[in-house]
A and B are shown apart, each in its own frame.
Chain A
């Protein structure tokens, strides 16, 4: 099997469409013939599980305390001992989304995990728990996409360490451009400081309104600032994306798509193809 491709969706800001991007890129990569695993570290609200309609089942398991092991367990120092005692530890964590990719949903335990990771004195160990898990237990997948929190903490650092490739969805706006610039600079500093090769692999202009001149101006600005990193297609704003997510599916499982949704879907497909090419390069 070829080397597993990994990417993490990250920006130190909420509401830019990280979860939607991971969901749609995941399905697009699956449609291209890849075995895809999505990992939701973005917070206990478990939005990726909601996006694929598996939240109710997972919520019931959480309420019944039938939710162990879960994604927060793999970060604990006891994980190796736990995994040895379970026949197929990965199978205990994974859900079928019904749209191609498998999913390890977020868990409320992620909320307290950040504090626990602070207890680990050695920086390398603190930030490499997820990487160790992926290297040792996550086989059989061609692509792993990780949805990270919209803030910088020990969990997002674990995601960056493990993936080393970052996909950044941004909206067309002056603050977002500045945040993307800051992230690019931060990733370079992380690579220098900690001797890991974390790079900004793809910047996706998301939720664009192609009818406005302002959007065009920001597109030009991003093109100049992120040459070679910008995704080939902007993803237009579409109410269908939101509606589908509320119904627990992606656009791929929707029927009767609006024109904007069709353009969004085409953009996700083209961007997924390009992401795969860049991750393999």
Chain B
């Protein structure tokens, strides 16, 4: 099993138990904490206290945000952290369920989101796809520089 692709698949699917997963999550938190806790990081990126009103509308990623994101993506691909994300909002939950059940609404909302974020959808507008596209659209609209980092990671 020396094949590169097979090795990549091994890394993605080796599996781990919850104890190791928790350890990796902790390691991720350390990276994140390091990124924002030092004086250098604050001076490089502009500390929150010196941020202007326009900066607040369009936040800028820290220098090592991309490294942290790439590291976390690896952790997710290895199955250490979950591939799904969740939000608790009863009305939004009802909204997406209703949109999904209504053929016309599903197509309308799905196509509008695809046009907005300009990404491909492979398996039609499933509930998961509708939520995913909505989140992408939201980040793109509200935090475009973070969206750029996100797109580069795909």
Which residues in A have some Cβ–Cβ distance to B below 8 Å? 44, 65, 67-70, 72-73, 76, 78-79, 81-82, 85-86, 107-113, 115-116, 118-119, 121
Contact = CB atoms under 8 A, between A and B. Distances in A.
B9 A115 contact: no
Contact of A109 (B16, B82, B83): B16
Contacts of B127: 121
A67 B14 CA distance: 8
Contact of B16 (A76, A85, A112): A112
27 contacts: A44-B17, A69-B13, A72-B15, A76-B12, A76-B13, A76-B79, A78-B9, A82-B13, A85-B3, A85-B5, A85-B6, A86-B6, A108-B20, A109-B14, A109-B15, A109-B16, A109-B17, A109-B79, A110-B15, A111-B16, A111-B17, A111-B18, A112-B79, A115-B82, A119-B82, A119-B83, A121-B127
A194 to B, nearest CB: 19
Given A118-B84, A119-B82, A119-B83, A107 B15 contact: yes
B117 interface: no
B9 A116 contact: no
Interface string B3-37: 10110011011111110110000000000000000
A86 B9 CA distance: 12
A85 B84 contact: no
Nearest to B11: A68
Contacts of A65: 14
Given A107-B15, A113-B15, A116-B79, A121 B128 contact: yes
Contacts of A115: 82
B1 to A, nearest CB: 7
Nearest to B78: A112
A112 B21 contact: yes
A73 B15 contact: yes
A148 B76 CA distance: 26
Nearest to B126: A121
A190 to B, nearest CB: 23
Contacts of A112: 15-18, 21, 79-80
Contacts of A76: 12-13, 15, 79
Contact of A78 (B1, B12, B16): B12
Contacts of A73: 13-15
A81 B15 contact: no
B40 to A, nearest CB: 36
Contacts of B5: 81, 85
Which 10 pairs show the lowest CB-CB distances between chains A and B?
A109-B15, A111-B17, A72-B15, A108-B17, A119-B84, A76-B13, A119-B83, A85-B6, A121-B128, A68-B10
A112 B14 CA distance: 11
B23 to A, nearest CB: 12
B93 to A, nearest CB: 14
Contacts of B80: 112
Contacts of B79: 76, 109, 112, 116
A76 B16 CA distance: 13
Contacts of A116: 79, 82-83
Contacts of B18: 111-112
B17 A68 contact: no
A110 B17 CA distance: 7
A70 B14 CA distance: 8
A149 to B, nearest CB: 14
A18 to B, nearest CB: 21
